[in-house]
Structure formats: structure tokens, C-alpha cells
Structure 1
Amino acid sequence: MFLTVVAVCCAAVAVPLLWNGLRAVRRGARSLTRLLALVAGLSVLALGVLVSVLAAIGTPVSTATLVLVLAVAGYLALVFLVFLGAALTYGHVRVTEEAESLVVLGCGLVHGEVSPMLRSRLDRTLEVFHRSVAAGRTPVVVASGGQGEDEDRTEADAMAEYLVRHGVPSGLVLREGRSTNTRENLRFSRELLQDAGIGGRTLVVTNDYHVMRTAMTARHTDLDARVLGAPTARQSVPSAFLREFAAVLVMHGWWHLGAVAAIVALWAVGFTTGVLPA
């Protein structure tokens, strides 16, 4: 019964991932980051097949191997569920505290203009800015994003134009156009605010899938910040969250490697002492 539940769960997870991945292929996606849903779907499907094969063999060694596979897969699934729950919760908590500045993180342009993903971040920033103005405050807004190899201008310039076009006074928009990753976004934005003599609490705006890693990174850049999440386009959700999960795993790589090593060590002890089939 347990193995049947595992197989059904693998199929239930793999099918939507494969469907999303195939849609990305049809839209012309070629990079690994955009095809993560397809890769993950195939991996989960392969896991289901491996579990079924090991269970069907039925020898003591295959049964012991099955226990190890399920233990490692279960650990990764648990970590992903914790990550997903924390990211969604953190990204959708309504923020009521006041801030002296808003920092919106860039995420790429399309033909020199803001992408749908970036527009979502900017619209969330505009929402918070106009709400602050209505409450009698005028926070500075930092548009943070450098120029990619395939871009003809910085993300900061395109973001600043969008913000001004939607009601933010140009004098309240600061452009940070040097950063190439999240850590640089936060560090260079902090330096820009310091140079402008602006202190106090900062609200950082990104997409909900990116909130958790941004918050962890902010703690290492001495930026007194709270992170807000903007909605992620439905078709981008699987790959975006999977990419962030991989990034968070890498950030704490040694810890997770240690946990997996402990699982393998316990399995080895159980195998050699006869607790598991031998």
C-alpha cells in the first residue's frame, strides 16, 4: 500500500511538471533554468520507476536500497515543502510598518523594456509607494539592476522610467545600475542609500519565489530590510520556485550534504547490523 501511494504521488507531481516543461519547450525555451520543470518532472518520473523496479525485484539488497532511495528522496521532498511554505508565507504577509526607502530588484529586460516578471515587482512597489504617500510619507525608491550581456541598457534605467511614468516623482527615484546578482543588488543599494544620507527601514520588493533567498542574503549585507513578494506569472511558477530551491540548497550546501551523509551513515549501520535486510 505504501509503495502504491509513493507511485501515485510521483505520478501526480511528475505530470504537471512535464506538462509545464513541454509548454516551455514549445515556447522556445532552451536554457536549463527555463526547463527545470521538465527536468524535475523526468526526475520524479524516474524516481517512481526506480521505486517500482526495486520493489518488484524483492531481494534483500533491493529492499535495503529501496529504503535508502526513499529516505533521501523523502528528505529532499521535506526540505522543498518547508522552503515552499516559508516562501509563500513570507511573500504574502501584508506589511504595515513604515519605511524610509523601497528597493525593487531587477530581473531582466525584454527588448529593452520591463518583462512581465519585472513589471509585477514594479507594480507591487508602486502599490506600496502610493499607499505610503496617502499616509503622509514619501519613501525614496531604488531601482536596482545592471545591464545584461544581451541588454542595450541597464535594468535600473528601464525600471526608473516605468516608476516615473506611473506616478513616482523622478527626484525620489535612485538608479543602481551596477549589480549583477541579488547580493550585489542589496549591497550596492545599501551603499547608494547611505551616500544619499537615507537611513531607517528599507522594504525590498521581489517576486514571491525569490523572497526567502533575498531575506537570507539581506541579513549578510547589513541592510535593515523587510522583503515583500510580488505575484509570479502562473506559467513561470514551477521553474522559478525550483530554481530558487536549488539556489537555497547551494547556499546551505554543506548543511544539506551533512544531513544526506547522516542518512546514508544510518542506513549503512542498519544494513551491516541486520536491522535492514541483508
Structure 2
Amino acid sequence: MQSAVSPAVLQAARTLWDFHLVYDELSRADLIIGLGSYDLRVADRCAELFHQGLAKRILFTGKSGNWTGGLYEGTEAEAFAARANELGVPDEAILVEPQATNIGENIRFSRAMAGDEMRRIIIVTKPQTQRRVYATVRAQWPDIEALVTAPPTGFEDQPTEAYPLEMFIHEMVGDVQRMVDYPAKGFQIAQSIPRSVADAFDFLVKEGYHHHL
């Protein structure tokens, strides 16, 4: 990873990264839900889990958000569905929810499309969004057993050409702030923020990583 940021910023960013990871142990589910984003590796992981037999259907959700305006010709969900098709997932196994613009809408709109027969789902998102998804689904779809996972991408490999390191750090900082603010609004369940994470957050904000707050 090519970086112009200081070692102290990298260390703080790694602290947030480690906090955001969840990677639940997976088991067979009724549905895989892939959350749209800039990161097509999420679609790759959904296709991989489908081919492993962990669910018979994939629902891709997402219109566009803070980071993907103009990135794809269509919506995030449509781009992810096309990628899954390329990887051998048949059309009849794919559902597309093309309206959600944030994680709360990803969950609510997927719930509405999936129906009441769901008992267990696997949600696939970016590595650094896992904890926010974990907290959101438990607040907004509390009666479902939701397993949260992501592509097994390392910290150094997560930034991309379209989404470089500094944007990646801004995103992680903003998601910590949402974990603090959103429970009172009913968007997420409350979570404990470790002191090391709070200190890293404060440091990164002071260093100018506040564009996603």
C-alpha cells in the first residue's frame, strides 16, 4: 500500500480497522445479502458463498451512496449482480434491490423484499463496515439470525484506485461516530467503544480525518 500518511495515522487507522471487523462463523442460511459499495470484492465473496452452498439466493442492495456516485453505469446492486453473473451465479438466484442509499436502508429494504419466511441470513459487506452492519441489523431486523462477514481482505489491500487510503480512513472514522450517535435514533444497537478506539478516533479527527462525520 502506497501511503503518504504518517506512521501514527496508520497505527490509529489500524486500531479502527481491527475494531470494525466481525467475521461471524458462517452456516447455511436462507439468503445471502450483499451490500453495495465501491468494493466489488463483496460481490465476489457473495458468489463464492453461493457456490459453497451456503444459500440458494443472493440479494444485492444499493443505489448509490457517499462514495459511489458515478462509479458504475447503473446502481451498486445492478453492478454487483452483473459481477455475480460473471462468476457463475444464475439470474434466477439473484434479487436486486436498487433503491437503498445507506446501511439502514440496505437492511430495511432487504427485509421488505426478502419476506417473513427468512430465519437466517448472511450479510456480506466491506471489512471495515462489518460492525456497523452488525449493530444496524440487530436494531432494524431484530427477529432474524444475521451472520455478518466480508471478503478476507487485509488492511493494506483494502484501499483501491477509486477509493484510496485517505478516503478509507475518513470512512472508518465516520462509522465510529455513527456507532456513538445512531443508537439514540434507533438506527443501531448500542455498542461499547474501547478506550483505544476512542483515542484513535480523537487523534484521527484532529489530524483532519473528519470528512465522513
Distance in 2 (alpha carbons) for counterparts of 1:237 and 1:208: 14
Distance in 1 (alpha carbons) for counterparts of 2:81 and 2:95: 8
* CA positional deviation for 1:234: 4.3
Alignment pair present for 1:248 and 2:181? no
* CA positional deviation for 1:145: 1.1
3-state SS of paired residue (1:153) = coil
On the 8 A contact 1:209/1:241 being kept in 2, the answer is: no
Which protein is richer in helix relative to its size? 1
Equivalent of residue 214 in structure 1, options 133, 141, 144: 133
Q: Tell which deviates more after alignment, 235-244 or 207-216.
A: 235-244
State how many pairs are aligned: 170
Aligned position for 2:30: 100
**Which has the larger Rg?**
1
Structure 2 residue runs without a partner (length 5+): 185-189, 196-213
3-state SS of paired residue (2:58) = strand
Distance in 2 (alpha carbons) for counterparts of 1:198 and 1:169: 22
Structure 1 residue runs without a partner (length 5+): 1-15, 22-37, 45-76, 109-116, 260-278
* CA positional deviation for 1:43: 8.8
* CA positional deviation for 1:246: 2.7
On the 8 A contact 2:33/2:122 being kept in 1, the answer is: yes
* CA positional deviation for 1:178: 0.3
Q: TM-score, normalization: structure 2? A: 0.66
Identical residues among aligned pairs (%): 24
Distance in 2 (alpha carbons) for counterparts of 1:43 and 1:228: 28
Aligned position for 2:210: none
* CA positional deviation for 1:122: 1.1
RMSD over aligned Cα atoms: 3.2
Aligned position for 1:20: 3
* CA positional deviation for 1:239: 4.3
Distance 1:249 1:163, change over 3 A: same
Equivalent of residue 106 in structure 2, options 185, 208, 217: 185
Equivalent of residue 139 in structure 1, options 31, 56, 62: 56
Aligned position for 2:204: none
* CA positional deviation for 1:172: 1.3
